[in-house]
Structure 1
Amino acid sequence: MRCRASIFVCLSVAFFSQASFALQNHQPRPSHADNVKTQGIRRDQFCSYLVAASGASVVSCSPNRANAENDDGVTVYKNPSGLKYVEIKTGTGPSPEYGQLCAIEYTGYLKLPTEDKPQKFDSNDFLIKHGNGRIIAGLDEGIHTMKVGGKRRLIIPPKLGYVESGLGPIPELPWNRWSLNRLLGQMIEQRGGNLVFEVELKSAMDDEASQGYYEDASPTPEELERLRTKFQERADQLEGSDSA
């Protein structure tokens, strides 16, 4: 619901800017680059292509509720960001919070538009700090609403994938790194495709070294309604004083 008075809009913008300040200003960029070349196409060229293709899209750190679709009897959920996922197994533990250390087990594939089946490029265990910006956005978003013990198939569009050099997970073995770079090069040539990650969330635990920079700052619907009411009342008061 939008407010009638412009002062409400200003106050709302100020509030949400403060609420997300800590998370937005403590996500370090990757510190190293992967300069492997494949088929004459460099990774930085791939990154530039994807950034342009995404149209400067901004992915929210707190994904909105997904819409459900039915694909040949399989329920596929789609987030507003474009991320799709299939719930293979629902976990029984808690969902991870930003700033926690999450242990996952994954298998990565890349599905090209000209092929019927995705090609596997890696399978490994991986430890991440949830929300620190060092892994691809689609994977980080995909595990945020999982529960420990759960398993999902994430279908990640290019704009949520390897848009910058150094984003993980990067395969440890040289052959697997070569396979990933080759497939990413084919994505550029064919101008399409998706990453597919089958992910199991093994654990989510607090980081003892955490400085509190990654705490979830998303207000609940009830908190938003209370804030909206307060801003509306204040805006009405200001309108009344101006007219007087």
Structure 2
Amino acid sequence: MKQQTKNAPNWRTLLLAALLLGLLVAACGPATPQPNDGETSDAVNVESGSRVTASGLEYVEVEAGTGVQAQPGDQVTVHYTGTLEDGTEFDSSIGSDPFSFVLGQGRVIPGWDEGIALMRAGGKAQLIIPPDLAYGPNDYGPIPGGSTLYFDVELVSVAPVPTPVPPPTAVPPTSVDPDDYIVTDSGLQYYFLAEGDGETPEDGEVVTVHFVGWLEDGTLLGDSRVTGPIEFTVGTEEILPGWDEAVLLMQVGDNVQIVLPPELGLGEEGSADGFIPPNAILIFEIELLSISPPPPPPISVDEADYTVTDSGLKLFVITPGTGEEIAVGDTVTLHYKMWDEEGIQLQSSYDFGQPIPLVVGLEQAGPGWDEALLLLDNLSIAQFVLTPELAFGDQAANAPDEGNLTVEVEILGLEKAETEE
């Protein structure tokens, strides 16, 4: 039996990165039930090509598509630009990869599911979506509560969703005598189901694992034998605090069962979708497949080489841009990497294969990002250092990470804000 090594969980934050990633699917938003009142009659304006459906969605055909009709269950790929009633753009896929989702599954706001289903591949349309088919009365990022949203969409492609590979037969966790668990100071319980003879990971290294997870009552949470193995950086709590502690006890080839108390799982809140309830005890069986070196640290910059602003922002231009300045209201498309104060990479848009669009001045990623981008030019590469106040704004006092964050951005494109005549 392997002996425990004590590793207190290191609480880090991915809040800023989560905000950035949310921008990739701002059009999606929180899934809400699709209205279904059984009515099919629409009000149609023949001259404008506008039709108002029974639910209140207004659909304006801009260019008829010649491809197949989108059907619920199809994998649809779209380009889009979203604006508020006053013309303020809050998100766009233009300049980056189109957005794909399965139609009719509640993975996007109801107005999208309904509107895209009216289109054929190759078509273009404007969707005018009332609040009850969008985000309702609540604010959502840069979108004020009660907003009617305007989306210019192009249906790039429609394809049937591939037949999924049948999942392996769901099985309960391996039966373990409670007396056989080793219990750490944090409350983690673990038991080695199989022992390997490979290396042991360290904080900051990237591990690849297979896992199966359950609630305490045996409800299956996930099985990577279906989805494929996953990678995460140890010590960054990309998955759960208890996972970091567990893999630091393992060698490559080990298969371990762990029992996580709520504080090492999702705590008092549970999951946002309610599937994992508050204060849930979670059970996982994790197999450590491999260990990779950690991502490289940020570029080393002498303190004297930073430009320091009155707010405390530190900025260093790695590669100058074109001289085309960024202004409030402009949309920049960029890749980014972010590290904590200890130099551990928290997240990188390169890992997701898609850059991030940001509207400058809306604090979509925190006030420090806006300040830094306004000091840069299009196509520049830069590093900036954010205090918690610059990273999290009004939420800094509640941020779980009190240290500074280092960010490197590569600006790939700039779309200037429209100016009023």
More strand as a share of residues: 2
Task: Give the TM-score normalised by the residue count of structure 1.
Answer: 0.48
The structure that has the greater radius of gyration is 2
Structure (1/2) with the larger helix percentage: 1
